[in-house]
Amino acid sequence: MANIIHYRNKCIGCGICYEMMPEIWRMSKKDGKATLIKSVIKKDVSIVSIPHSMIAHAKKVSHACPVKIIRVNEF
């Protein structure tokens, strides 16, 4: 298992995370930023658990984010 952590307030809405992993991300029609589906939000930080099988791809998304606001924490 792992958590994806998203510092949403710094998102520039480029859409790369959504293009790479649409099962986890969507783009908000309200403010144009990415949103983690089914995440818990605490103080502008969104967190969602993912299974082991998604970790490698989630890390690629993390590296691809141009403003580096996606973290993948394994546990």
CB of 17 to ligand SF4, least distance (A): 3
Q: In the bound complex, what is the minimum distance in angstroms from residue 48's beta carbon to ligand SF4?
A: 13
**Contact status: 69 vs ligand SF4 (CB under 6 A):** yes
C-alpha angle with apex 24: 2 to 14, nearest 5 degrees?
Answer: 115
Q: Are 46 and 36 in contact (CB under 8 A)?
A: yes
4 binds ligand SF4 (CB under 6 A): no
Task: List residues binding ligand SF4 (CB under 6 A).
Answer: 11-17, 34, 65-67, 69-70
